[in-house]
Amino acid sequence: MLTDILGDEDKAKEVVEAGKASMG
């Protein structure tokens, strides 16, 4: 999963924020 968004910083940002909200 991470390897898929490694090249997309924009996507990575969204994933990071989503992960933060998911982790609580």
pLDDT digit string, tens, across residues 1-24 = 566 656 678 888 888 899 899 887
Report pLDDT for 22.
87
Report pLDDT for 12.
81
Report pLDDT for 3.
60
Report pLDDT for 17.
92
Residues contacting residue 12 through CB under 8 Å, at least 6 positions apart = 5, 6
How many Å apart are CA 24 and CA 9, to the nearest integer?
22
Dihedral angle at the C-alpha atoms of 16, 3, 7, 10, nearest 10 degrees? -20
Report pLDDT for 9.
82
How many Å apart are CA 18 and CA 20, to the nearest integer?
5
CA 20 to chain centre: 9
Which of 10, 12, 6 shows the shortest CA–CA distance to 20? 12
